Structure 1
Amino acid sequence: MAANHNFRKLKIWSEGMDVVKETYKLTNQFPKSEMFALASQIQRCSVSIPSNIAEGTSRKSTKHFLQYLETALGSAFEWKTQLIIANEVNYVPDDNFIILEQKIQSLQGMISRFMESLNN
């Protein structure tokens, strides 16, 4: 059985929520033509990160919790790819890109280490 985690107390969840807030600030600067394209996609995958972490805490087994954490991690990698795309099409300035890239890499590492700790 998995330990019952309060998702609001998990650092990976709060860091994921920070990514969501940063994403909405970022995408508000995108051209209006991107509202239902890249902006929408990056918003959805940012929301997926803390949402899957939270949903995973409700699962009764570590195995199922890990599946949700794996999905959250996948969403973090998807988010990073979309950030790269946004930077390459000049929607995100390089200095902002570097900060956000470091933030998502840190979160990816945190999720991975948390998963490893649950496996041990």
Structure 2
Amino acid sequence: MKSYKDLDIYNLAFDYAIEVHKMSLLLPKFELYEMGSQVRRSSKSVKDNIVEGYGRRKYKQDFVKFLIYSHASLLECLSQLQMIQNIYVDVPVNDLIDKYDLLGGKIYSFISYVENNWKT
């Protein structure tokens, strides 16, 4: 692994953040700076915390801490997507919810891998 870009969880989080950004622009204008902003920020935080943790990978506990932050941001993003799903039924979020559910499992598994196998 030469870069955080080699991590599957980072690449998925990056792609999904772009999808969330595009989806959020479909929300009503008055939601662009409320719900839209919040879901965009939480989705970008998933990938950004993976990157920051990778940057601290020499220190296993720091790496794990930022992966946990990433997972927490993912849960926040999921919560926002579920709100959008219930309030704005015409905005397509079902696929994103499924993708983030799967990514959450991958991040959780990677946290376990780092905790049990990472050499510092």
**Normalising by structure 1, what TM-score?**
0.90
The amino acid of 2:74's aligned partner reads A
**2:14–2:47 contact (8 Å) kept in structure 1:** yes
The Cα shift of 1:24 comes to 1.0
Specify the alignment match of 2:51 in structure 1: 54
1:6 aligns with 2:6: no
The Cα shift of 1:72 comes to 0.3
| Distance change (3 Å), C-alpha of 1:44 and 1:20 | same
* d(CA) in 2 for partners of 1:40, 1:18: 17
- Gapped runs of 5+ residues in structure 2? none
* d(CA) in 1 for partners of 2:73, 2:51: 14
- Gapped runs of 5+ residues in structure 1? none
Q: Secondary structure at the match of 2:84?
A: helix
Q: Secondary structure at the match of 1:36?
A: coil
Q: Secondary structure at the match of 2:33?
A: coil
Moved over 6 A (4+): none
Specify the alignment match of 1:20 in structure 2: 17
* Cα RMSD (Å): 1.4
Identity of aligned residues (%): 28
Specify the alignment match of 1:117 in structure 2: 113
